[in-house]
Amino acid sequence: SLNAMAENLQKALTRLEEANAQLAQDVEKERLLLAERKELVDSLSHEMKTPLSIIRAYAEGLQDEADDGKKQKYARIIISETEHMNDLILTLLDLSALESGAATLCITRFDFVELLETAAGRILANIPDGDFELQYELPEQKIFVQTDKQRMEQVLDNLILNARKNVRPGGILRLELTMDGEMLHFSVFNQGRLIPEDNLPKIWTKFYRDSNASYSGSGLGLSIVAQILSMQNLPYGAENMDDGVRFFFSITMAK
């Protein structure tokens, strides 16, 4: 009887320990969710201040302005700022979903060369103010990979757009896609101002902006790139070259 009692007691203690461990995991998960929500709210509050201030200022000006030309100009600015706010909110929600695990990858098999050509053509072709020289080195044959096609298109879009924004007037923007064994290596280079070495690790963090950059942005594009590639354990990075900056990542080819 004592042996049976001891065995039952041990089983009860084991179940209690398991329940406590599960409770601790649930509490930690809830704590992380609350922290993520707070960060999301804080980020939105911070980022909304500027466009809301602009909208209010031009809305007040619209009330008192008699000139029709200026009214149209103020209206265009208000519309532009609301579109900017909408894009920012959607991007931030998307990034938050990726970080929390709420968004998962939809894995399919597709031709990576075709995807890159489509993305590059959409972003770089026929740009009215495109004052740069486009160079590219792409394989002539199809190369298949197995990953989330839509998310990988996001990665390419953000990296190519980043290069386009940072290439110096008349500079070179170069796309490369090369093979090495089972690995496919992508890189995009833009001639232009280098990134201070101390800031290279920071460019992947949310809302990081280069104060010396000649353009404005949400500061979320490279964060999304890092998150999508990290979810798949794909190597990526950025490095300063002699006369510009090179961004890169690698992915395994599908058989």
Sort strands 132-137 and 171-180 into parallel, antiparallel or unpaired.
parallel
- Give 54-101 pLDDT, tens digit per residue: 888 888 888 888 888 888 988 988 998 888 788 778 877 788 778 777
Sort strands 244-252 and 132-137 into parallel, antiparallel or unpaired.
unpaired
Higher pLDDT, 185 or 12: 185
pLDDT at 177 over 90: yes
Average pLDDT over the chain reads: 85
pLDDT at 107 over 50: yes
- What percent of the chain clears pLDDT 70, i.e. is strictly above it? 90
pTM: 0.72
pLDDT at 111 over 90: yes
What pLDDT shows up at residue 215?
A: 44
User: Across residues 216-220, what is the average pLDDT?
Assistant: 62
What pLDDT shows up at residue 58?
A: 86
Rounded to the nearest 5°, which phi and psi values hold at 209?
A: -135, 140
User: Across residues 3-21, what is the average pLDDT?
Assistant: 85
Which two three-digit tokens encode residue 182?
């089972």
pLDDT at 212 over 60: no
Higher pLDDT, 96 or 198: 198
What pLDDT shows up at residue 211?
A: 58
What pLDDT shows up at residue 214?
A: 46
